[in-house]
Structure 1
Amino acid sequence: MKRFAEYLAVFAVAALAFAITSVVWSGLTSALIAAATSAGIAVAIWWWFVIRRRDAAADLGVPSLGSIPDHGDTGPAPALSTGSVDGGYGPIADAVAQLPDVQVLLVTSPAPGQGATTVALNLAIASSRAGRRVLLVDADRIASTLSRFNGTGTTPGLYDIAAGTAGLEDAARMWNLGGDTRLPMIPIGSDAGEVADLASPHLAGVVDRVGERADLIIIDAPSATFDGIPR
């Protein structure tokens, strides 16, 4: 759908360019010149916005960890990588392991529904299969996708720990993903009317405690456009 919209935009620009040049030049020869001009403009725009791949690492000034596999439209549930882990999230997990002094990784996206939860889950699985001790945390108060689909319940969880009403031992549970894959995780927790402070010293202390036993903590966070107000 996105690619169709891009092509439609290129066609619209080409049509507009042809209309403008047709007004400037009249006659058959001029019409051909106008058509060639508009086609050239369309091809240039098509290459720049559709075909050309920008170097995100250079634009952002940070290293690229790899390319995320395209799972397509999987609905509300996070998609598990069905191919070889080494051919999907394995290289990304290896790249994360090579980062110096990185123990907590927050996964987010520009807007909801862009696959951040899928990335967090598959990256956690790939890292775990690579022998790292991984803890997956659901901190997405809006979607709570990991908590809703893990089959172990949503409470107690992260917000209960932040509020001081539950301990790490109460909130942590094992997510059985089939076969020999079992992933420790912490769900979102109670949906209290007043949002618990995730920057609380109590929660920070819990994260420090987990860090003593885990190689990597992956946090599935809300999108970057989330304003912190529960809907």
Structure 2
Amino acid sequence: MDSEELELGHYGRILRRSWWLVALSIVACMLLATFFLPQPRDFYESTVSVILRPGRADFGSDRDPVNEDREAGIAVSPTIGQVVVDAASSPLTLVDWNDNLTVSPCLDSSSLVVNDSCDSGILSFTYRAETPEEAGTLVFASADAYLQDRIARERTLVDNQISQLRTQIADLELSLDNERAVYNATEEDSLDRVLSQTRLTRLENQRVEAQRTVTNLDVPTEVGSMLGDPTEPTAESEGIPRVIALAAGFLMGLLFGGMAAVLSDRLDRRLSDAPEIEADLGVPVLGNIPRITEDSPALVTAVGAHTPGAEAFRRLAAAALVPRDGYIVESITVTGASENEGRTTTAVNMAIALGQAGRQVLLVAGDRRDNSLDRLFGLANKPGLNDFLRGSGDIEAARTMVGTAEERLGIRVIPSGTPSPPPLSTSSMAALLAAANERGMMVVFDSPPALTHSDGLQLAAIADAVYVVAAVGKTRRSELNELRIQLLNVRADLAGAIINRNSRVSLLPAGSAEFVAGPITVPNGIPGNARRQSNLERLAELHANEEGDLGMPEAAAGLEELETDRDPAEETS
């Protein structure tokens, strides 16, 4: 599988995990498309053209040029609309009239105007309505109301100009009477009479011109008219068909939902599936533990023989029994990156499943600051690992501790012991492993988080196999990457990962478990003491390595002590 297929697979998993986000986005976009996109609507359009001729100007010229844009704005004004609404026979509002009427200058007005000056213009009125009769009636009414308004405006302008001119004529006639009196008072052939005659002539010319202008203004002038009848209403359709709107909403929702899912995945650095865990740890996922519920309790392997949780732990135990590099696994450390990831539940059920498979199992409460395992098996405040570490911690003490470990559900359990845990001694833990292996017991360490407690790294370093528990939706990828680096630094034998779907488990009280056996085949391999010898050699190498600062100064001493304590049967073999 190439990188492109892996990348597509990754995005496919993101969409499957966030399917609800994609579905919600699709539904929201389809609803928005249904209610906010223009709905399909059939309507009829009718058009009529109105020619505009220049009106009367002030005194200086005959006519004003037509401003088509200004007139188009007047044609759709509320004043015109109210006239049309009041005259309409069918129910009509001013808002509907304004939405359905379009008035614009005609671009090819020169081809329509034949007998008019170049100052003329044409406006095109178009009205949309649900019926052809309404479209034709209202477009005609709108154009006619505009023309009547234009005529009224022109009449008002003319009346104002006539009034001004008549006032001017009256003033001129008064000036003429005064000037005639001056003229009559002067002597004949005198200079004053000549000047008075000149003024009389000028005033008379002005009066005659004003009177002529009044006469011209009194002549009716046509400032506009319709160019024929409205066109026959034609059926049109607007809006987006519902099927196309829904399809567009679906595609937009799928796009936005996919983007939101990818963005959410990028922002959320918590682990979500097995491929991410395998990529970060570099080992396969060997177990996928279902969510722990009342129907599937913490000791599900013991009390629920045929539940999915019990089967998951049995498959995990079968994987742990497979020899690694030819050696039978004699010790297992179950650890994680942070708190509340289900390590104790995994270690307990894995140990019970190994016991059901026929192995003698020693479960050690390595998380000495948390007595959840002690309370689960009813061993709280009983002597355990802390007491062993406070003592001599040698091989004899280890044999005593292993020999006196209480049996629960077919396995032996060493609790964390009394409070105030002392430092973890690597040589003491090596002696404990040796004592358990002498009895043919497989050791399972319930380890604290390896990133927050040094005990977790020490227990990982001495075990034959390390299993990392990762809680989906809780464990972060950065934590898992850091954990992998720390385990590699101590040369821990990282065997696999375990996915836990629940990050917090409510443990049942002691005495609630019932033993249930299940058949698992134990594979063949090299005896455990040979594997233990390999582990101790690795510990000695870690002690010699200056970079392996794990607090293991007793590793070499433990190796020497165990060398003198080896089983004679192994020497002959």
TM-score (norm 2): 0.31
The yes-or-no answer on 1:144 pairing with 2:371 is yes
Match of 1:79 among 291, 299, 302: 299
Q: Which SS does the other structure have where 1:108 is aligned?
A: strand
Tell me the alpha carbon deviations over residues 84-113 of structure 1, each in whole angstroms, 9 at most, x when there is no partner: 387232111111100313322111233322
CA distance in 1, matches of 2:330, 2:388: 20
Equivalent AA in structure 2 for residue 184 of structure 1? R
The yes-or-no answer on 1:63 pairing with 2:284 is yes
The yes-or-no answer on 1:109 pairing with 2:355 is no
Deviation at 1:131, TM superposition (A): 0.8
Tell me the alpha carbon deviations over residues 153-197 of structure 1, each in whole angstroms, 9 at most, x when there is no partner: 4331112212226733247422333xxxx21011001222xx422
CA distance in 2, matches of 1:203, 1:87: 31
Aligned to 1:189: 417
Moved more, 139-148 or 164-173: 164-173
Match of 1:176 among 398, 408, 412: 408
Deviation at 1:61, TM superposition (A): 1.9
Asked if the contact 1:65/1:95 (under 8 Å) is kept, the reply is yes
**Structure with the higher helix share, 1 or 2:** 2
CA distance in 1, matches of 2:291, 2:305: 11
Q: Which SS does the other structure have where 1:185 is aligned?
A: strand
CA distance in 2, matches of 1:99, 1:14: 50
Residues 127, 170 of structure 1: alpha-carbon distance in 2 compared, 3 angstrom cutoff = closer
The yes-or-no answer on 1:95 pairing with 2:319 is yes
Asked if the contact 2:334/2:346 (under 8 Å) is kept, the reply is yes
Asked if the contact 2:18/2:261 (under 8 Å) is kept, the reply is yes
Aligned to 1:210: 436
Deviation at 1:78, TM superposition (A): 3.6
Greater CA radius of gyration, 1 or 2?
2
Deviation at 1:136, TM superposition (A): 0.4
Equivalent AA in structure 2 for residue 61 of structure 1? G
Equivalent pairs counted in the alignment come to 207
Q: Which SS does the other structure have where 1:208 is aligned?
A: helix
What is the alpha-carbon root mean square deviation over aligned residues? 4.0
Match of 1:131 among 358, 379, 384: 358
Equivalent AA in structure 2 for residue 120 of structure 1? A
Asked if the contact 2:436/2:442 (under 8 Å) is kept, the reply is no
Residues 98, 170 of structure 1: alpha-carbon distance in 2 compared, 3 angstrom cutoff = closer
Asked if the contact 1:112/1:223 (under 8 Å) is kept, the reply is yes
Residues 187, 105 of structure 1: alpha-carbon distance in 2 compared, 3 angstrom cutoff = same
Asked if the contact 2:331/2:433 (under 8 Å) is kept, the reply is no
Deviation at 1:228, TM superposition (A): 5.6
Deviation at 1:80, TM superposition (A): 2.7
Residues 214, 64 of structure 1: alpha-carbon distance in 2 compared, 3 angstrom cutoff = farther
CA distance in 2, matches of 1:152, 1:114: 23
Asked if the contact 2:407/2:413 (under 8 Å) is kept, the reply is yes
Tell me the alpha carbon deviations over residues 91-146 of structure 1, each in whole angstroms, 9 at most, x when there is no partner: 11111100313322111233322221111111111111111121100011232211
Aligned to 2:256: 41
CA distance in 1, matches of 2:419, 2:311: 38
% identical aligned pairs: 26
Q: Which SS does the other structure have where 1:67 is aligned?
A: strand
Equivalent AA in structure 2 for residue 67 of structure 1? N
Q: Which SS does the other structure have where 1:94 is aligned?
A: helix
Residues 203, 54 of structure 1: alpha-carbon distance in 2 compared, 3 angstrom cutoff = closer
CA distance in 2, matches of 1:9, 1:124: 38
Map residues 149-168 of structure 1 onto 2, 5 A cutoff. Answer: 149-164=376-391, 167-168=397-398
Deviation at 1:209, TM superposition (A): 1.9
TM-score (norm 1): 0.69
CA distance in 2, matches of 1:197, 1:126: 31
CA distance in 2, matches of 1:54, 1:94: 19
Residues 136, 14 of structure 1: alpha-carbon distance in 2 compared, 3 angstrom cutoff = same
CA distance in 2, matches of 1:40, 1:152: 57
The yes-or-no answer on 1:221 pairing with 2:441 is no
CA distance in 1, matches of 2:364, 2:300: 17
Q: Which SS does the other structure have where 1:122 is aligned?
A: helix
Asked if the contact 1:156/1:170 (under 8 Å) is kept, the reply is no
Asked if the contact 1:160/1:189 (under 8 Å) is kept, the reply is yes
CA distance in 1, matches of 2:454, 2:384: 18
Unmatched runs of 5 consecutive residues or more in structure 2: 1-16, 39-244, 456-573
Equivalent AA in structure 2 for residue 139 of structure 1? G
